[in-house]
Amino acid sequence: MKKNSRSSKYVLLIPPETEDGEIEESRASANEGYESVKCASPRGSCDNTDLEMSVQATISKSTLPQKTFWEREKEAWLNVILDWFNLLLIFAPLGIAAIHLEWSSAAIFALNFIAIIPLASLLGTATEAMSAHTGQMIGGLLNATFGNAVEMIMCVQAVRCGLVRVVQGNLLGSILSNLLLVLGMAIFGAGVVTHESKFNAQGAAANMTGQVVASISICLPTMFRTISGSTDAQILLLSRICSCFLCLVYFMFLVFQLRTHADLFVDESFEDAENGEEAPAELSLASATALLTASTLTVAACSEGLVDSIGDVSENWGLPKAFIGVILLPIVGNAAEHATAVHSAIKGMMDLTIGVAVGSSTQIALFVVPCAVVWGWVFDEPMTLSFRNFDTACQMLTVFLVSQVLQHGNTNWLHGAMLITTYLLIATICWFIPEAD
């Protein structure tokens, strides 16, 4: 037992495990004035050096100066503002101005395309900050609602304009981009740094099972369309029923992830990296709400101009709508996630990487896709789950490939290269898909 002279607190040292593997219990840890410290030695036993390091870590934490509310708020806003993605925010007012000043469709498309990239990052930051001030379940629902807000907003704008194929392509592209490009580059980056990266295979399997269910829900209406005698009205009704089931599955997945089996989705390496370090300041609930509101309204304005210009850009500049929907538009919403996933993978936090890339795809497949069908119902547009045969095949094969890569709980750089190559193959074919299809 050692005394912390600066805080007048006694620190009671508790070894992590006894010889039979059970955690020792200490009666003194329950008494006031004592602080229990568990030695975090990776060897499973503590020597004097390990105990001394544990004491120093505890003393350091207990003697950190307490910051005021305004100091924490200032630090949190600086963390948000100094993100390098925000250098692109200058394109937001330019994109909105281009819409009202009726600039060329190419200028409107390009400016708003770039502007949505930092706005998506701000939306993610605001959502995470709000989740930190709520319960786990409420935080999960907030992430479900705003985690892919950019995709959701662009879907609403495109459905309103009757661009059903663009919406379907955008949703498919978001799934493919996360599973193949983002995850592939993250695995490749981690493979360059380390020989082999390990992660929780059970958590990844839960996400991929949800992907399989979502793929089946799209495959069935698509195959039903080929049955002799099937009508468009039947396909539309079937899609709306399937969408309700998908929303129910996603709600059950949230309960599984946040309540009953939350341990499967914990990144231990991320916790170890933060051990002994002061947590970064979080925005207050009021600031996070204000940032979320402002970002959402700005994204809505920019996405409206972006979607409205797709037709003219496709016609005047020769960009196929399939390529715009499947390849270009998903880049907008996934840029921030892409950077986070690759950075985390290089630092060895593979569970966090899979949570960002695969988790986002699961959210789109089980939540955003059925919501797009519901929005089509609201705007009286025939938004269905009957995708092109090519789209359905791409999703099914992608889910199969990623499941094979993640099933063993370890990856290397070759796995990442294979995922990236598959994405490039799909992107190449999308360029040649005729408009008539």
Give per-residue pLDDT as tens, 157-178: 888 888 888 888 889 998 999 8
Cβ distance 346 to 269 under 8 Å? no
Phi-psi region of 409 (alpha: psi -120 to 50; beta: other; left: phi over 0): left
With a cut of 60, say whether residue 28 has pLDDT above it: no
- Across the range 132-147, mean pLDDT stands at 65
Residues 6+ apart with CB under 8 A from 328: 113, 319
With a cut of 80, say whether residue 208 has pLDDT above it: yes
Overall size of the chain counted in residues: 437
**Mean predicted lDDT score pLDDT of the chain:** 79
CA–CA separation, 185 vs 201, rounded Å? 19
CA–CA separation, 182 vs 377, rounded Å? 32
The pLDDT-based confidence of 98 (bands split at 50, 70, 90) is: very high
Task: Average the pLDDT over each of 24-38, 62-76, 241-255, 277-291 and give the range with the smallest value.
Answer: 24-38
CA–CA separation, 102 vs 147, rounded Å? 32
Phi/psi for 206 (5° steps) reads: -60, -45
- Across the range 223-244, mean pLDDT stands at 90
With a cut of 80, say whether residue 187 has pLDDT above it: yes
Task: Tell me the whole-structure pTM to 2 decimals.
Answer: 0.75
The pLDDT-based confidence of 153 (bands split at 50, 70, 90) is: confident
- Across the range 139-157, mean pLDDT stands at 74
With a cut of 80, say whether residue 424 has pLDDT above it: yes
- Across the range 176-204, mean pLDDT stands at 89
Q: What is the pLDDT of residue 183?
A: 92
Q: What is the pLDDT of residue 341?
A: 81
- Across the range 25-35, mean pLDDT stands at 45
CATH architecture of 73-431: Up-down Bundle (1.20)
With a cut of 60, say whether residue 239 has pLDDT above it: yes
CA–CA separation, 143 vs 120, rounded Å? 13
The sign of the CA dihedral 190, 194, 196, 197 is negative
Greater model confidence, 386 or 333: 386
- Across the range 401-418, mean pLDDT stands at 92
Domain ranges of the chain: 2-62, 73-431
- Across the range 412-428, mean pLDDT stands at 94
The pLDDT-based confidence of 181 (bands split at 50, 70, 90) is: very high
Query: Token pair 């709508």 is at which residue?
Result: 321
Query: Of 221, 180, 240, whose CA–CA distance to 360 is shortest?
Result: 180
- For helices 164-176 and 413-431, give the axis angle rounded to 10 degrees: 160
Q: What is the pLDDT of residue 133?
A: 75
With a cut of 70, say whether residue 39 has pLDDT above it: no
With a cut of 70, say whether residue 59 has pLDDT above it: no
Neighbours of 428 (CB within 10 A): 11
Q: What is the pLDDT of residue 14?
A: 45
Greater model confidence, 90 or 144: 90
Give per-residue pLDDT as tens, 382-392: 899 989 899 99
The sign of the CA dihedral 420, 426, 432, 436 is negative
CA–CA separation, 335 vs 341, rounded Å? 10
Q: What is the pLDDT of residue 338?
A: 79
Cβ distance 359 to 207 under 8 Å? yes
Using alpha carbons, list the distances in angstroms from residue 340 to 61, 150, 178, 222, 227: 28, 17, 12, 34, 44
Greater model confidence, 217 or 337: 217
